Structure 1
Amino acid sequence: MKRIADFAIPSLKIRKNTKNPAPANTSLEFMLDKAQTEQERDPRFLAKLQSALNAGGVHPTAILVVNTLLDLAKHPKYQEKLREEIRQKNVEVSGNWDQHAFDTLYKLDSALKESLRFNPATLTAYSRELLMDCELSSGLRLRKGQLICVPSCSKQKDENIFAEPDKYDALRSYNEDANMHRARPFKSLDEHAHRWGAGRSACPGRFMANIIVTVILVRLLDEYDFQLAPSRGRPDSTMTHEFIWLTLGARLMVKRRVKNSGIVYGTVAQI
C-alpha cells in the first residue's frame, strides 16, 4: 500500500489541481475524474482503492495463468493440442494478432474454463445480506440481517452439471457443445460455473483478465514445454478465509522448445 501511495498521491494531487487535464489513461486518473464526493477525490483514498483493485485483479489473474500451466503439465497430452491451435491461428492471421484472433482460440478458451473449474478463486459466491425475513421452499427460515452465499466451489464438481466432474478435461466445453461454447466463452457469465458473478455485480474486469491470460498463454505455450517437478506432483492450493491461493514454493519445470511459431506481438496490440 505504501509503495502505491508514494507513486500515486503526488500525481493525483497535481491532476486534482489542474484545470482541464488531459484525458485519463490510467485507472487512478479515471477514478479521480469520475469522483462525485470529496472523499472520492482524496488522493489517499484513491490510492487505497487502487490497492484493492490490484489485490482483486492482479493476483487472481496471475494465479489463473499458473494453475492452467500446472494442469497442462499434469495432463501433457493437451499441451500439443492447444499448441497446434495456436500455430494454425498464427498462420491464419499472418502473425498479426488482434482481439478476434485471441477470441477464436476455442480450445484454449475451453482449457481456461476447466482450469478455473478445478481451481476456483473462492469457496463461495454471491455474498448477500437479507433485507427482510423470508422462508425457502424447504421450510428454512432466514432472518433480516443474515448473510447468505452460494457454495460455488462444490458446485463445480456437481455431477448433475458436469459429466465425470472429478476428471480434468481441457477440451470439455469444446467437445461437449461447440456452439454453446462459442456463444458463452470463458469471459461470459455462467450460472453453473460462477466464474465472474452475475447481474450488476458481475466482475467488470473479466474482459481484461481474459485477454491478459490468453495473450500470456499463447506466447508461453508456443515457446515452452511444461512438466511437473519429479516426485512432487501437482502442487496443492492453500486458503485464506474463503479465498483459494496457489501454494508458495510450487515448482514447475519449463523447457524452451527448439521450434516455435516465433509469435511476436506488435508494440500496439490491437485489443
Structure 2
Amino acid sequence: MSSYRKTATLTRSTPNLIPVIYDEVAVSSDEDWGTNANWHEVNVYNAVQHIIARASNRVFVGQELCRNEEMLKVAQRWSVLFPISGMILRQIPELLRPLVAPLITSPNHWYARRFIKYLKPEILRRQSATAADSKEKPNDFMQWTIDAAERSDLEAERSPRIIALRILATIFGTIHTSTFITSNIVLDLASCDPENLSEIRQEIRDALVNNDNKWDKSLVQRLVKLDSSMRESARLRTFTLTNVLRRVVNPKGLVTPDGAKLPYGALIGLPTMGIHNDEDIYKDAANEKPTGKSGSNNAGGRSFVSVSPKYHPFGLGRHACPGRFFASAELRLLLAYLVLNYDIEHQPERVAPQYVGTVLLPPSKATVRVRRIAK
C-alpha cells in the first residue's frame, strides 16, 4: 500500500478539510493560549505542539479520538522516543545493534501497543461499516487507510494493528516538523517590528471581510503577508542544517561535475543553512523581512511551500515532502487564529534556537506574553 497515494489524497482533500482544521485549531488554541484578556505567559513549544497534535489528528483519526488526551500523549511520547532511539543505536557498533536494539526500543513498542489499543475499536467499527457498504464514510486519514487496505491483495494490510501503526508513523512525520516550524514563526513574530505583526493582522481581517467571514481555501490563499513571514522564518531557521540527502548507490562510486570522487555508500546533501544565508542569493540575508517588504528575500514571490535549489526546507525535486501542502494550510490557519485573537507582547531579542547535531530546534522553554483581544 503506497503511503504516497494516501498523502496525495490528503493533499487533494485539504481544501475541503480547512473548516474542520480551523474548528479544531480554534477550540485547542482557546484552551492552550487561554481567553484571559490580561497578560499571561504561554510556553510556545508546548502550546504549539498540543494545538498541532489536535488539529492534525482531527484529520487523521476524527474528532472524538483527537480530543482523547491520553491517546495524544501516547502518540507524542512515541514520536519523541522514536528518533532518540535511532540516534542512540547509530552510536553503537553495528555488530552489537541486534543485541541492544530490543532494550533500547522497548519504550517505543510499549507506546505503540497503547496507541493501537486506543485506535483498534474505531478501526474495527469502520471496517464493519465498510463491509456493509455504508455510504456515510468519514473523510479522514484513518478511513483512507482502511479503504486502501481493503483494495490490497495482502490480508495483513487489513489488520487493525498495521493500520494503526501506519497512522502513528504519519503522525510522527507531521507533528514534529510542524511544531518546529510554527514555534519558530511565533517567536519570530514576537520579536519582529510590531508594525509587521499589525500588517499581518490587518491582512487577516481584510481577508475575512472579503470572504464573508468564511475560513476556507479562498481565505487561506489571501494571506500573502502571513505566508511570506512563514517562508522567511523557514529560510532563516529551517530545522535541519543539511537537506536533500542522497546516498551513492553505484558500486563504482560517483564523480561530481567538479571532479570529486564519492565512494559507494557515501552520504551527500545540500548545506541548506548556508544556502539560505548566502548573500549572493538573498540580499541582506541575515535580516528577516517578515512581510516581504523588500521582495528580495521572497525569491520572486514564491510561497512557503515552493522549493528550489535556493530554498529547500522541505527537500527538493520529486522527493520533496508531499505533505507540505497540508502542513502549510494547517499552519496558516493556526497562525492566523493566534494573530487575529491575541496580542503578543514584543520581545526586543529573539530567543536563540538550540543545535542538536545537524538539527536546529526551537527553544523548548521559551515563553511569550499574550492576552486575548476583545471581540
Name whichever of 27-36 and 158-167 sits farther off: 27-36
Match in the other structure for 2:115: 4
Equivalences for 1:1-271 in 2 at 5 Å? 1-16=112-127, 19=131, 22=134, 23=137, 25-35=139-149, 36=152, 37-75=154-192, 76-132=194-250, 133-172=253-292, 175-176=295-296, 180-181=300-301, 184-227=302-345, 233-258=349-374, 262=375
Q: Kindly state the Cα deviation for residue 38 of structure 1 after the two structures are TM-superposed.
A: 4.2
Specify the code of the residue in structure 1 equivalent to 2:255: E
Q: How many residues align?
A: 255
CA-CA distance at 1:178 after TM superposition: 8.3
Post-superposition offset of 1:142: 1.0
Structure 1 residues 113 and 192: alpha-carbon distance in aligned structure 2, compared to 1, 3 A threshold: same
CA distance in 1, matches of 2:225, 2:260: 43
Paired with 1:241 and 1:49, the residues of 2 have a C-alpha distance of 28
Report the Cα offset of residue 63 of structure 1. 3.0
User: Are residues 70 and 148 of structure 1, via their aligned partners in 2, closer, same or farther at CA, if it must alter by over 3 Å?
Assistant: same
Change (3 A) 1:39 1:158: farther
Q: Which residue of 1 aligns with 2:79?
A: none
**Shift in CA distance, 147/178, structure 1 to aligned 2, threshold 3 Å:** closer
In the aligned structure 1, how far is the partner of 2:190 from the partner of 2:261? 47
Structure with the bigger percentage of helix: 2
Aligned mates of 2:271, 2:165 — CA distance in 1: 29
Residues 180, 165 of structure 1: CA spacing in aligned structure 2 closer, same or farther, 3 A cutoff?
closer
Q: Are the structure 2 counterparts of residues 25 and 245 from structure 1 closer, same or farther at C-alpha, using a change threshold of 3 Å?
A: same
Q: Does structure 2 retain, via aligned residues, the 8 Å contact 1:128–1:147? A: yes
- How far has the Cα of 1:46 moved from its partner? 3.0
Instruction: Flag the 1:198–1:94 CA change in 2: closer, same or farther, 3 A.
Output: same
* Letter matched to residue 136 of structure 1: T
Q: CA separation in 1, counterparts of 2:148 and 2:236?
A: 38
Conservation of the 8 A alpha-carbon contact between 1:122 and 1:243: yes
CA-atom RMSD in angstroms: 2.6
In the alignment, which residue of structure 2 is the partner of 1:269?
Answer: none
Q: Identify the structure with bigger relative contact order (alpha carbons < 8 Å, sequence gap 6+).
A: 2
1:139 deviates by 1.9
Asked if the contact 2:190/2:344 (under 8 Å) is kept, the reply is: yes
Q: Percent identity?
A: 29
The answer to whether the Cα contact below 8 Å between 1:69 and 1:226 also exists between their aligned partners in 2 is no
For 1:112 and 1:153, locate their aligned partners in 2 and report how far apart those are by CA, in whole Å.
16
CA distance in 1, matches of 2:234, 2:159: 37
1:251 maps to amino acid: T
> 1:209 Cα deviation (Å)?
0.8
The one-character-per-residue Cα deviations of 1:101-133 (angstroms, maximum 9, x if unpaired) are 211211111101001112212222122221212
Deviation at 1:28, TM superposition (A): 2.8
- Amino acid corresponding to residue 116 of structure 2 in structure 1: A
User: Are residues 20 and 242 of structure 1, via their aligned partners in 2, closer, same or farther at CA, if it must alter by over 3 Å?
Assistant: farther
Letter in 1 for 2:254: C
Tell me how far 1:202 sits from its aligned partner: 1.9
CA shift, 1:39, in A, is: 4.4
Are the equivalent residues in 2 in contact too, given 1:24–1:33 (CA < 8 A)? no
1:64–1:89 Cα change, 3 Å = same
Partner Cα separation in structure 1 for residue 362 and residue 275 of structure 2: 20
